[in-house]
């Protein structure tokens, strides 16, 4: 996520698995995913968290702008980033793209783009451990096409069709957002024989759709191979873990890559 925002790694390759790397992860989790708000001191905790997040994002923005002298040009990737794009928009529309607005956008995407992926990875590993034959097949596919001498990257994903099947089947059984984000009808309409007045709040039950026996064979069973014969793009109205249409999750592609890479890394220890 920090590469998307600022063109830099959150943890450098040589720090992964080290005490330094673990400390960085701990500090970031403390900033963005801190628990303990159900206390008498919740107001002070929120104020403290806000300051920590604000300071963290200010460093990222200063790095991109080149205002932070602690970072040389060689440490920044020479490519477009989300912060760079938002800062360029700030030049033309300063009242809309304020510093606070930019930080808020990054915060929402950072939280939504990490916790959701983590939950999906947890479910994937849970069902794989309950289905050792699928885990064995996945490990064999990874070992044959990638190996375990390096981390997975985007170019490897096309070589791992069963991994994508595992991810899709996990999202089918355990969608991260079982009830998709609410929508509002812009005009009176009729759907499936039901009259829906204008300005009605609508919720889509993705969990029920994904387990509908009229749409899926053995819907309660974990069968990743079912997606070998399914073109997900054509199953939009029965497989909707990211929603569908103009309001679908804009981070779907990145989420699938994050989950796939995470599962591969964990599989290497089994």
Note the pLDDT of residue 79: 63
Which two three-digit tokens encode residue 249?
């999750």
Q: Single out the residue of 55, 103, 67, 112 nearest to residue 82, CA to CA.
A: 103
* pLDDT tier, 218 (very low <50, low <70, confident <90, very high otherwise): very high
The larger pLDDT score, comparing residue 135 to residue 63, is at 135
Note the pLDDT of residue 232: 66
Determine the average pLDDT of the residues in 37-65: 80
Determine the average pLDDT of the residues in 52-77: 69
pLDDT over threshold 80, residue 68: no
pLDDT over threshold 90, residue 34: no
* Among the ranges given (27-36, 66-75, 197-206), the one the predictor scored with the smallest mean pLDDT: 66-75
- The proportion of the chain whose per-residue pLDDT surpasses 70, expressed as a percent, equals 89
Dist CA 210 CA 233 (whole Å): 15
Q: Single out the residue of 44, 90, 46, 43 nearest to residue 65, CA to CA.
A: 90
pLDDT over threshold 90, residue 198: yes
Note the pLDDT of residue 69: 44
User: Across the chain, what does the average pLDDT equal?
Assistant: 84
CATH of 115-267, one of 2.40.30.10, 3.60.150.10, 1.10.630.10, 3.30.465.10: 1.10.630.10
| Residue pLDDT, tens place only, 118-174 | 899 999 999 999 999 999 999 999 989 888 777 777 788 889 999 999 999 999 999
Give the residue range(s) of CATH 1.10.630.10 domains in the chain. Answer: 115-267
Note the pLDDT of residue 133: 95
Dist CA 166 CA 132 (whole Å): 13
pTM for this entry? 0.75
Q: Is 249 within any annotated ligand binding site?
A: yes
Note the pLDDT of residue 16: 77
CB 161 within 8 A of CB 228: yes
pLDDT over threshold 80, residue 186: yes
| Residue pLDDT, tens place only, 221-263 | 999 999 987 776 665 678 999 988 888 887 888 888 889 988 9
Note the pLDDT of residue 26: 83
Note the pLDDT of residue 234: 63
Note the pLDDT of residue 70: 44
Cα dihedral: 228, 231, 236, 240 (round 10): 30
Note the pLDDT of residue 130: 95
């Amino acid at each position: 996520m920090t590469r998307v925002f600022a063109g830099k790694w959150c943890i450098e390759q040589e720090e992964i698995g080290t005490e330094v790397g673990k400390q960085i992860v701990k500090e970031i989790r403390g900033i963005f995913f801190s628990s303990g708000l159900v206390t008498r001191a919740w107001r002070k905790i929120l104020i403290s968290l806000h300051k920590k997040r604000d300071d963290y994002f200010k460093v990222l923005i200063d790095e991109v702008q080149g205002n932070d002298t602690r970072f040389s040009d060689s440490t920044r990737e020479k490519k477009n980033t989300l912060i760079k794009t938002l800062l360029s928009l700030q030049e033309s529309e300063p009242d809309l793209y304020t510093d606070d607005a930019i930080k808020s956008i990054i915060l929402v995407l950072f939280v939504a783009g990490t916790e959701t992926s983590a939950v999906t990875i947890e479910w994937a590993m849970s069902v794989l451990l309950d289905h050792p034959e699928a885990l064995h097949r996945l490990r064999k596919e990874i070992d044959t096409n990638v190996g375990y001498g390096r981390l997975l990257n985007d170019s490897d994903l096309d070589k791992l069709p069963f991994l994508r099947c595992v991810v899709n089947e996990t999202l089918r059984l355990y969608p991260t957002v079982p009830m998709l984000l609410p929508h509002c009808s812009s005009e009176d309409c009729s759907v499936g024989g039901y009259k829906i007045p204008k300005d009605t709040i609508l919720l889509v039950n993705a969990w029920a759709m994904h387990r509908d026996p009229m749409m899926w064979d053995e819907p309660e069973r974990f069968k990743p191979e079912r997606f070998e014969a399914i073109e997900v793009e054509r199953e939009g109205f029965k497989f909707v873990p990211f929603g569908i249409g103009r309001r679908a999750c804009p981070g779907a592609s990145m989420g699938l890559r994050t989950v796939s890479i995470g599962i591969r890394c964990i599989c290497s220890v089994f």
